[in-house]
A and B are shown apart, each in its own frame.
Chain A
Amino acid sequence: MKNSLLFVLSASLILTFQEVVISRIAFPFANPSIFLIFVLSWAFLEKQWLAALQGFLAGIILDISPLSVGVIGHWAFVLAAVCYGVSELGVQLRASRRSPLTLTAVVTSGIFFTLIFFVISGALINSNQGYGFMQTVPGVVFWSLVFTPLISPVIIMVKRTVDGVGKTVE
């Protein structure tokens, strides 16, 4: 439980950083999503049910973000499902779970599926957010390829620390 609380706090801070700093830098193609990199990386290192819960909470954070205009619950739905899937993959790839290369490959494809899933589910619930996202998908995926290897060692280190804290508390 402590893990999830720390995750929510970190995710909130990273989303704020994303909105205040990253999104204001005019990156070529599209802006990288540090928030999604963090959430999916965390999910990759987490147990399935916790990954699903944390994905759901991360989605709620995104949904109620002041800059969000979509339907509340949309991101929660998408991220709960994707984070569960990413975690499931992490369990399958147990041996190389903490390798930045594996993490990069999984997170980048996870981001790609997240955005595609968001667009498709958005079309189903008629949220009118599809076309804009479709245009940014290649750019976001490209930047996640660049940023994940840079960020993932920090995420892995923080996750280890948090897991240690969680174990001692539990």
Chain B
Amino acid sequence: MGNDKARSRFFLSALLITSLLLITLDLRGNLPSEGLRKISATVGAPFQNFFNSIYRPVSTFTGDVFSLGRTRSKISNLQKENAALKEELSRTNAIKNEVKELKSVLDLAGAGRYKIVPARIIAVGSAGSFSRTIQLDVGSADGIKKDMSIIAGGGLVARILSVSKSSSIALLMDDETFKVGVRLESSGTSGVVSGTGGSVLELILLDSTSDLRVGQRVVSRGSSNSQPFLPGVPVGVITEVNQSAGSLTKSAVVKPFVDLNRISVVAVIVSKSKTDPRDALLPSPPKPTPTVTVFVTPTPNPSPTPSVSDSKQ
């Protein structure tokens, strides 16, 4: 028994020394450990494939069972993260839209050589008076005065009604009390555009004999001393012409270039250019879509088939 124990200890010592020798050799890089592991992988591959084939069908089940709690907390965390990301995305989209609007306003102002003060719409409408008004975050401290024109990327939007130190109220173009003197693109025919309370405006031409067509574009004519309106600011496009025989005036429906319900950033024109831009600020007209016309030419049959009456004869 005592001999057995001594022999076992001796054997253990020999194994431990062998292990230490292997460790030393491997640490010194004298052992082909990579090669040994490659051989081990090759030998073990068939067994691995066997166990894999057994494990694969149940892997999803076991994964679901053991990670049930973790999956729940993961789902909860992901939901929170998703909500935060959605909020951030919505904020980013809002900022993107504002930047886009601001860029188009700046483009328009740059083309018209207007000096502008950018403004953000901080409130819309007044339920008490049922008027289409907006409140801007700029006021007299920013150089804003009553009756200044307000533009957005597409063209005219409103005019300043009242100004306080840090904010101002403006009347939107679609308000029924809003009126702006306009002229038709190229022809120079004058008229007055007024709000209808809806999404479109009404144009009344002063000269009933003038030509009025759908698609004609309208720009502001300009007020005396450019207040409230500057000349050449795009207003809208004619979408419908009202033909009433015997009437002294001609009228049309004008769709504004700017969607007044979707603006958030505008610019107040604080100083006009020395020259009238005429039609230069109008957006480039849309290109007509080519229509495909198919002509069918009937070709006579070279060998006419005998008619029923012929065959009877």
Contacts and interface: CB of A to CB of B under 8 A. Distances in A.
Given A49-B8, A56-B18, A20 B66 contact: no
Contacts of A168: none
Interface stretch (B34-42, B190-198, B224-232, B271-279): B34-42
Given A20-B52, A66-B38, A73-B22, A81 B16 contact: yes
B55 A24 contact: yes
A75 B47 CA distance: 22
Interface of A: 12-13, 16-17, 19-21, 24-28, 47-49, 52-53, 55-56, 59, 63-66, 68, 71-74, 76-77, 80-81, 84, 125
Interface string B30-59: 010100111111001001100110110001
A65 B36 CA distance: 9
Nearest to A21: B55
A23 B115 CA distance: 70
A79 to B, nearest CB: 9
Given A52-B12, A80-B19, A26 B40 contact: no
B1 to A, nearest CB: 10
Given A16-B47, A49-B8, A64-B40, A24 B15 contact: no
The interface residues of chain B, by DSSP majority, are classed as: helix
8 contacts: A16-B44, A16-B47, A19-B48, A48-B12, A56-B19, A66-B40, A71-B23, A77-B16
B11 A71 contact: no
A72 B31 contact: yes
| Residue of A12, A20, A74, A81 contacting most chain B CB atoms (<10 Å) | A20
A92 B116 CA distance: 96
A49 B7 contact: yes
B66 to A, nearest CB: 5
The interface residues of chain A, by DSSP majority, are classed as: helix
Contacts of A68: 37
Contacts of B12: 48-49, 52, 80-81, 84
B214 to A, nearest CB: 68
Given A53-B11, A77-B20, A81-B16, A48 B5 contact: yes
A25 B48 contact: no
Contact of A25 (B19, B24, B40, B62): B62
Contacts of B5: 48
A27 B68 CA distance: 10
A59 to B, nearest CB: 7
B33 A72 contact: yes
A74 B23 contact: yes
Nearest to B27: A71
A73 B70 CA distance: 37
B19 A73 contact: yes
A47 to B, nearest CB: 8
Given A49-B12, A64-B37, A77 B66 contact: no
Nearest to A59: B19
Nearest to A73: B22
B59 A66 contact: no
B63 A26 contact: yes
A71 B31 CA distance: 10
B95 interface: no
Nearest to B22: A73
B67 interface: yes
| Residue of A49, A56, A73, A77 contacting most chain B CB atoms (<10 Å) | A73
B44 A66 contact: yes
B47 A125 contact: no
A25 B37 contact: no
Nearest to A87: B8
Nearest to A16: B47
B142 interface: no
